[in-house]
Structure 1
Amino acid sequence: MCKLIILIFVTTINFINGAKILGVFPSPGYSQFILGEVLMTELARRGHDVTMISAYKPREELKNYRTILADDMVNKPQRDLFPREREHFINRIRSVHNLGYLVTENALTNSGVQNLIHSNETFDLVILEQFLNEAHMAFGAHFNAPIVLFSSIGISEWNSHLIGDIRLPSIVPVTKTHYTDHMSFFQRLFNSIVNVCDILYKELVSYPIHQEYIDKYFPKKMNLRDIIYNASLMLLNSHVSTTQPASLTTAVIEIGGFHVSSKKLPEDIQKFLDEAENGAILFSMGSNLNISNLPLTTLDNIMEMFSKMKQRVLLKYEDINLKNKPSNVLISKWLPQSDILEHRSLVAFVTHGGLLSVTEAVFHGVPMVGIPIFGDQRMNVARCVRKGIAVHLPFQELTAFNLHQALVKVLENREYQDNSRRNANIMRDRPVRPLNWAMYWIEYVLRHNGAIHLRNASLELYWFQLYLIDVIIFLMVSLILMYYLIAKRQRIKGFHPQVTQNTNAKKLRKKNKLKKY
């Protein structure tokens, strides 16, 4: 019996190590690439044969790790994204879907991707970065392989429906708002309306476009409605310390912070931070926003403000030869953000509020000044403000004076430091490293041939059935009909004596006329 158990165990390990896995991570954002690469390289280290569709080349060469570059969007000139902060809410929703269309079609038109689709290759599993690219769900059906979704953000209206997770509009805000799970009545009302509008937009506009992509770029005939809900599992780059408590189905696994690791800093940065006797501030607006797009007067005033501070400043900026650079400021086009945040000298982080940046700041216990611009950044900053680990500085109010006031608030109010350390302890207090947790669940899907038993019954319902819209409409119509029938019956009863009285009066008048003649 013991030998049989050992044999089964060895056979399982050999099967898992021999798995062929396709990773589809087409996002042009470098932060998203980092997350995808950490996940896929770890699978390669564990013996899996990995093929990665990506916008960037791998940072590490592994013999069982192959990259198919889909970098057309990366090579295009980068737009100034700061004006997106002033977009109307409806335009925000439309623009994010338009980005999804671009990312989806850009990957599918790539020659390397088309060669793969038309090859005879097979895969045991497809891991798909999910961001409004529903047509890419066809990779799973095309290769007849289970799908594991990966989302670089938490549960949202962009991904929850694909895995059968139920989002209550009363406590789960739409991603592009600045709401948290504590909403006022009018916020809940607005949130509910926007949820319905988003659903209708996906059903009437977005899904037909993605169906066209499937028809155009895949040789097999596939119906989006038949394949869109076939994911076995969804991995979220989130955690209660960075987002909020959520009621997640068994097929949704949170692995926020899985990419964080300790690496040695470059010598110049290490020296700069080691000698920061009064602490250091990191100022970075992420990989998609260029600080050089700020008005020159604003940037000059900020530099002047930094020169008067006792802290040292690390600035991610596109022009390392910036004129009038203060002596306490170090400028670099790229900064190892997580490793800098880990340094003991870091006392504050000025950030755009992307979830990757927020996760790293939370993990290392560094309070933030959040200047959100687009996407999920407003919500991320709002959550951090509620946790007492960040100050929100609206982009339209970004001046040297306001930035200084926000930094002073974070630096001099002890609560921000204490709350950040407490939140870091919450993130770190886990029984299993999040990357190992991700590996376990990915291989779980492989071991159980897609793990169909994790599927939620809500996937078999239309959205209006799931949220009982049809039941509510039925009850409302029934009540209206019942009221109408009761009112009609009362009206008939009420008028019947009157009709009899009028008839008798007519007879009496006729009789009097006869007597007169």
Structure 2
Amino acid sequence: MCKLIILIFVTTINFINGAKILGVFPSPGYSQFILGEVLMTELARRGHDVTMISAYKPREELKNYRTILADDMVNKPQRDLFPREREHFINRIRSVHNLGYLVTENALTNSGVQNLIHSNETFDLVILEQFLNEAHMAFGSHFNAPIVLFSSIGISEWNSHLIGDIRLPSIVPVTKTHYTDHMSFFQRLFNSIVNVCDILYRELVSYPIHQEYIDKYFPKKMNLRDIIYNASLMLLNSHVSTTQPASLTTAVIEIGGFHVSSKKLPEDIQKFLDEAENGAILFSMGSNLNISNLPLTTLDNIMEMFSKMKQRVLLKYEDINLKNKPSNVLISKWLPQSDILEHRSLVAFVTHGGLLSVTEAVFHGVPMVGIPIFGDQRMNVARCVRKGIAVHLPFQELTAFNLHQALVKVLENREYQDNSRRNANIMRDRPVRPLNWAMYWIEYVLRHNGAIHLRNASLELYWFQLYLIDVIIFLMVSLILMYYLIAKRQRIKGFHPQVTQNTNAKKLRKKNKLKKY
């Protein structure tokens, strides 16, 4: 039996060995790059010929791994993203789609990408990082290759429609809210309104813009609405330990935590953590947010607060020459976040709540203080709060005093530590390593020529058919017509007795007149 299993495994590997795979991961976020690189590097190690459109150079050189560098957005000055927490939800919809337009067009205008599009190269598969870049779906049709989508933020209103995953607004919150799957009536009402606004914006505003990109940057004529639902599979950087239970369609596969691996820490960080007798705190707001944008007085007060704590603090900060740095604080422009969280001395993690950071904290069982700023971060933090593994500190309330109170709550309440360890066990309790699971499904699509049998029937419907808008309108019109006909009939019936009564009265008066004569 064992020999048979080995034979099948070797045969399968040989069958899909050497496929030409194009990875499209143009996001300027370094966290998104890490996820894409881990995925594509593993494919290269398995013998596939990989071409990667990326905003960053690879960290590891492989002979069958080629990079097309599209780093224009990386080199542009970074916008201050902190104020976005206060935006109205309509402005948030517009802002996030505007970001999608920038990433989409930046990749398509890149000379290396244009050379690839106009070359005679062919690919067996396209793996596409999906985040409001629908025009990039044209890569699949252009190269006549099946598409595997990858979402770094899990399933959301920004990608579920592409794979036919139906989201009920009664239990699935929109990313722009801070709700969980347990919503009150008014939360469900607001969630539904935002959901409808997002669909209308996507259909009426966003899709026409992406159609223009396709017409402008691809030589073949393609209709966006004909190609947008051509994906064979969607891989999600999520897991039930970091998100909420979801009824996902067959073509949606969760691989959250696939990028986590153990690496040796730099000597200075290793020594700093080893000597942290009272534990250590990691303070990092991710790769897209600069703590230097905080008011200087707020930062000074936070440093003073850290100096009074018995724990050591690792701070990701853009200026390593920060004045008045306490002796128990280590500052670096870049920190190996996952490897630090793995250290036994880590007792708390101050984070912006990005899904990559949340996943690493959950995997290593470290409780969090979440300070969400934009995008999916508020929802991620809300979910962690509900699981009892995080404390939420709104950005508008970020002061040294409030941060200290949140840290004390996490450090002194044993429930946060216990819940974090329990949640870590849930994430780790899987029959297959998530990276191997991702490889299996990618190669499954290759083996089955696009795996069209996984396709959901909802992809054949227009959005108004999918959400039964046409049925609701039909029923409403039918009810109005029925009411009108019934009311009209009642008026007619009510008129006859009156006519009969008047006629009888006339006959009686005529008869009485005759009697008199």
Q: What pairs up with 1:16-415 in 2 under 5 angstroms?
A: 16-415=16-415
**Cα gap change, 1:301 to 1:443, in 2 (>3 Å):** same
Deviation at 1:512, TM superposition (A): 9.2
1:141-182, CA deviations, whole angstroms, 9 ceiling, x for partnerless residues?
A: 000000000000111111111011111111111011100000
Q: Distance in 2 between matches of 1:426 and 1:209?
A: 42
Please state how far the C-alpha of 1:206 moved relative to its aligned partner: 0.6
What secondary structure does 1:281 align onto? strand
Partner of 1:473: 473
Cα distance, 1:131–1:481 mapped onto 2, change above 3 Å = same
Aligned equivalents of 1:8 and 1:260: distance in 2? 29
Structure 1 position 431, deviation (Å): 0.2
Deviation track 1:442-462 (CA, whole Å, cap 9, x = no partner) reads 000001110001101111111
Q: How much does 1:107 deviate? A: 0.2
Is contact 2:129-2:151 (8 Å) kept?
yes
Aligned equivalents of 1:4 and 1:337: distance in 2?
42
| Deviation, structure 1 residue 195 | 1.2
- Tell me how far apart the structure 2 counterparts of residues 368 and 2 of structure 1 sit (CA, whole Å): 45
* Deviation per residue, 1:25-62 (Å, 9 max, x gap): 01010000000000000000111000000000001111
Q: Distance in 1 between matches of 2:265 and 2:100?
A: 35
- Superposed displacement of residue 505, structure 1: 4.9
12-21 vs 104-113, which deviates more?
A: 12-21
Q: Give how far 1:129 is off.
A: 0.2
Counterparts in 2 of 1:447 and 1:328: CA distance versus 1, 3 Å = same
1:475 Cα deviation from its structure 2 partner: 2.2
Tell me: CA distance 1:67–1:474, structure 2 relative to 1, closer, same or farther (3 Å): same
State the alpha-carbon separation in 2 of the partners of residues 378 and 493 from structure 1. 61
For 2:12 and 2:440, the matched residues in 1 are separated by: 13
* SS in structure 2 at match of 1:196: helix
CA distance in 1, matches of 2:389, 2:71: 36
Query: C-alpha separation between the residues in 2 aligned to 1:246 and 1:419?
Result: 21
**Structure 1 position 495, deviation (Å):** 2.3
Per-residue deviation, 1:487? 2.2
Answer with 244-253 or 491-500: which moved more.
491-500
Quote how far apart the aligned CAs of 1:501 are.
Answer: 2.7
Give, in whole Å, the separation in 1 of the partners of 2:8 and 2:20: 20
Return the alpha-carbon distance in structure 1 between the equivalents of residues 38 and 477 of structure 2: 54
Distance of aligned partners of 1:456 and 1:487 in 2 relative to their CA distance in 1, 3 Å threshold: same
CA separation in 2, counterparts of 1:13 and 1:278? 49
Structure 1, unmatched stretches of 5+, are none
The alpha-carbon distance between structure 1 residues 7 and 399, as it changes in their structure 2 partners (threshold 3 A), is: closer
2:211 alignment partner, SS class: helix
C-alpha distance in 1 between matches for 2:438 and 2:319: 38
Distance in 2 of aligned mates of 1:240 and 1:220: 41
Hey, what's the Cα distance between the residues in 2 that align with 1:97 and 1:301? 36
Deviation, structure 1 residue 510: 8.6
SS at match of 1:11: helix
**How far apart in 2 are the matches of 1:4 and 1:318?**
56
Structure 1 range deviating more: 70-79 or 507-516: 507-516
Residue by residue over 1:107-166, the C-alpha shift from the partner in whole angstroms, topping out at 9 and shown as x without a partner, is 000000000000000000000000000000000000000000000011111111101111
**SS of alignment partner, residue 24 of structure 1:** strand
Looking at structure 2, the residues matched to 193 and 6 of structure 1 have their Cα atoms a distance apart, in angstroms, of 54
Q: Displacement, 1:18?
A: 1.2
Counterpart in the other structure of 1:513: 513
**TM superposition score normalised by structure 1:** 0.96
> Offset at 1:481?
2.1
Q: What's the % identity of the aligned pairs?
A: 100
Query: CA shift at 1:242, angstroms?
Result: 0.2
User: Using a 3 Å threshold, how does the CA distance of structure 1 residues 3 and 324 change in structure 2: closer, same or farther?
Assistant: closer
Gaps in structure 2 of 5+ consecutive residues? none
Q: CA deviation at 1:508?
A: 7.0
- Give the conservation status (yes or no) of the 8 Å contact 2:281–2:312: yes
How far the C-alpha of 1:196 sits from its partner, in A, is: 1.3
The answer to whether the 8 A contact 2:89-2:194 is kept is no
Give the direction of change, closer, same or farther, for the CA distance of 1:83–1:514 in structure 2 (3 Å limit). Answer: farther
Q: How has the CA–CA distance of structure 1 residues 118 and 507 changed in structure 2, closer, same or farther, with 3 Å as cutoff?
A: same
Q: CA deviation at 1:10?
A: 6.0
In the alignment, is the contact (CA less than 8 A) between 2:367 and 2:416 conserved in 1?
yes
Q: Distance in 1 between matches of 2:509 and 2:305?
A: 102
Asked whether the 8 Å contact 2:393–2:403 carries over to 1, the reply is yes
Alignment check: 8 A CA contact 2:305 2:400 kept: yes
Deviations 1:264-293 (A, max 9, x none): 000000000000000000000000000000
| Shift in Å, 1:483 | 2.4
Structure 2 SS opposite 1:416: helix
Structure 2 SS opposite 1:235: strand
- SS of residue matched to 2:241: coil
Provide the rounded CA distance (Å) in 2 between the counterparts of 1:231 and 1:214: 17
Q: 2:326 aligns to what SS in structure 1?
A: coil
- The Cα of 1:194 is off from its aligned counterpart by 1.4
The 1:407/1:130 distance shift into structure 2, 3 A limit, reads same
- Residue 70 of structure 1 deviates from its aligned partner by 0.6
Residues 37, 2 of structure 1: alpha-carbon distance in 2 compared, 3 angstrom cutoff? closer
Judge which range, 482-491 or 362-371, deviates more: 482-491
Per the normalisation by structure 2, the TM-score is 0.96
Moved more, 481-490 or 446-455: 481-490
Question: Aligned partners of 1:343 and 1:404: how far apart in 2?
Answer: 22
Tell me the secondary structure at the aligned position of residue 220 of structure 2: coil
User: Displacement of 1:465 after TM fit?
Assistant: 1.7
**Distance (whole Å) between structure 1 residues aligned to residue 305 and residue 155 of structure 2:** 39
Aligned residue pair count: 517
The whole-number CA distance in structure 1 between the counterparts of 2:40 and 2:179 is 33
Deviation at 1:506, TM superposition (A): 6.1
Q: Shift in Å at residue 485 of structure 1?
A: 1.8
Q: Residues of 2 paired with 1:43 and 1:173: CA distance?
A: 34
Alpha-carbon deviation of 1:198?
1.0
TM-fit CA distance, 1:391: 0.3
Deviations 1:44-85 (A, max 9, x none): 011100000000000111110000011111000011110111
Displacement of 1:185 after TM fit?
A: 0.7
What RMSD over aligned residues (CA atoms) do the two structures have, in Å? 2.2
Measured after TM superposition, the shift of residue 199 of structure 1 is 1.0
Q: Deviations over 1:358-408 (max 9, x none)?
A: 000000000000000000000000000000000000000000000000000
The whole-number CA distance in structure 2 between the counterparts of 1:472 and 1:85 is: 36
SS in 1 for 2:330: strand
* Deviation sequence 1:458-513 (CA, Å, 0-9, x none): 11111222222222222232223222222222222122211333455567779999
Structure 1 residue 244: Cα displacement: 0.6
Partners of 2:316 and 2:8 in 1: CA distance = 52
- 1:324-372 residue CA offsets vs partner (Å, 9 max, x unmatched): 0000000000000000000000000000000000000000000000000
